[in-house]
Amino acid sequence: MTESVKCLIIGAGPAGYTAGIYASRAGLEPVLIEGLQPGGQLTITSDVENFPGYPDGSTGPQIMEDIRQQSINNGTKMIGGLVTSVDFSKRPFQCIVNEKTTFLADTVIIATGATARWLEIESEKKFKGFGVSACATCDGAFFVNKDVAVVGGGDTAVEEALYLAQRSKKVYLIHRRDQLRACKALQERVLEAPNIEILWNSIPKEILGEQQGFIRNVTGMRLANTVDHSEYTIAVDGIFVSIGAIPATEIFKDYITLDRNGYIKTKPGTPFTNIPGVFAAGDVQDPNYRQALTAAASGCMAGIEAERFLTLNADESNETC
């Protein structure tokens, strides 16, 4: 089965859904492939208090359902499934869904996002979203005047520790080695912070907590020393995992220029990739902010630029769709 479309959106997070809103309103009749996790990472976030339009806050799944429905109401066609291969060597671009349906698209918006690297210990899964987070900017406000831990030793981990130190009573920075990987300036700041304690040569073994009905709370973490193999426990109310992220770009790597960490390279301030007519939006091209709001904003830009591209290439577009 083959279907021709003006605009194909790959990914169903804030970037993809917002791109659909703008592409629909531009008359592009976009088709959006929702992938394995419709709604993206926000669907595993319980309380969200920093997304505009929700003065009393809301849940991540509810916010994503609202944006999804708005995209549908404007004309985006949602298709469940996974893009299994692409060919961006020529227009129309070819994208195969579920290894059986071929879409020929005049423009493509990649909004496949990035997933946080987790500790991959069983107790982490239990408390993810209930005291265990991968984003201090998103969830730090829930831990004002409380004790928290940050796991990691790179720039992002140190930045998160410094961010939390302005709000939390105590911040433990847990690092598996005896020196940080963060830049020198950040290291100096974190070493000078009076309420940050670095736990060197330590790795998480278990996240401790309690559960009453559906309510779960983190109470601490059991750590192991990598040098003498001793174990010890710290009491914390929240844990922030900051050991990197994995952008979902594997199927695009033969055509799209990626940075050394696998993120799509875009022209600064735009959704433009190295291939005219293929745009990238959201966390798949943003290793820095990783916010639902910034992802939605870049989805807006991608939808606008897709319409502009088709307008500038109207003659060729009329031949293919």
Instruction: Give the residue numbers annotated as catalytic, written as ranges.
Output: 135, 138-139
| Side-chain-facing half-sphere of 172: CA atoms under 13 Å | 26
Q: How many CA atoms lie within 13 A of 151 on its CB side?
A: 28
Distances (CA, A) of 108 to 5, 10, 19, 162, 304: 10, 8, 11, 38, 12
Here the tokens at position 95 are 């994208």
How is residue 196 written in tokens? 């940050």
The neighbour count for residue 191, using CB atoms within 10 Å, is 12
The set of residues, in sequence order, having a beta carbon less than 8 Å from that of 51 and lying 6+ positions away, is 58, 63, 292, 293
* Contact by Cβ (8 Å): 114, 14: no
